[in-house]
Amino acid sequence: MFGVLFEQTADGQRYIDWLLSGLGWTLALAFFGWWIAFGIGVVVGVGRTVQNRFLAIPARLYVEIFRNIPVLVQMFLWYFVFPEVVPSALGDAIKQIPPPWASFFPALLCLGLYTASRIAEQVRAGIEALPRGQIEAANALGLSGYLTYRYVIVPQALRLIVPSLTSEVMGIYKNTSVALTIGLMELTAQARQISEATFQTFTAFGAATIIYLCLALIAYQGMMLIDKAVRIPGSAPVKLSADADLAAEVQQAGALPNALEAAK
């Protein structure tokens, strides 16, 4: 069934090389996008919890804006609109970027900033889940606000939210496929291209589906290992099961845990 993948393409490669190159772009986008998202997400998430209004309001606005516009629309904003609204010298410089990178960078920026808004909410939930005594103890020891966050709050919150972050890891690699709309030949785009070239639609999409499933499994197992390594000893073990990302949503929504508490 997958034999067609090893046939020659018009450009002298094999179809499987197309798929692998697509996989490469998908992984590159997801990997680098993740670190942008994680960095910004932690900062914004902390900003959501501080008393200082000059930090809290921009952080809230950031989350509201980036979470409430569809990824595809954000993709178009970075790709089509951004070069037009910046000063024309910069805009022209952006338009000079050669093909694959001209799609890659806007996609990277888009996915990074979008995912950051989702991570920020997880970080906020993690910080709010910490007992108040932690902050009070840090105050009693004379730690400044910055030091409290840097050494007491953020490290613990991050360790708490590893299971919830699994859903964001899976979210970012799935969202990489949106980059095909601005011309990046990532995995889904390559699968479609193979299907159009060979009419073996079932094989082409099937291969891509299997690759995505493997990525999901790797992401899931990897996050489980990380969770095991960094889980706070003695904290209520967060069950990392097949519904980890739902558990994350539930935690975020706060509704079901409340219901569980009430039920007890």
Partner 1 sequence: MNTLDFSIVAQSWPYLWSGLVFSLSLTAAAFAIGMVLGTCLALVQHFEVPVLAQVVRGYVAVIRSIPLILVLFWFFFLVPIVLGYLSGNGRPVPIGATFTAFITFGLFEAAYYSEIIRVGLRAVNKGQFEACQALALSTYDTYRHIVLPQVLRVASPIILSQTIILFQDTSLVYVLSLTDLLGAASKLAQLNGRLVEMYLVVALAYLAISSAASQCVAILRKRYALATSR
Residues 224-243 that bind partner 1 (CB under 8 A): 242-243
Candidate ranges 4-12, 44-52, 208-216, 224-232; the one touching partner 1 (CB under 8 A): 208-216
Asked whether position 93 contacts partner 1 by CB under 8 A, the answer is no
The closest alpha carbon to 51, from 165, 126, 148, belongs to: 148
- Least separation in angstroms between CB 36 and partner 1: 20
- Least separation in angstroms between CB 84 and partner 1: 5
Residues 164-193 that bind partner 1 (CB under 8 A): 170, 174-178, 180-181, 188, 191-192
Asked whether position 205 contacts partner 1 by CB under 8 A, the answer is yes
Candidate ranges 11-19, 40-48, 62-70, 221-229; the one touching partner 1 (CB under 8 A): 62-70
**Binding residues for partner 1, per CB under 8 A?**
64-65, 67-74, 76-77, 80-81, 84-88, 91, 170, 174-178, 180-181, 188, 191-192, 195, 201-202, 205, 208-209, 212-213, 215-216, 242-243, 245-247, 249-250, 253-256, 258-263
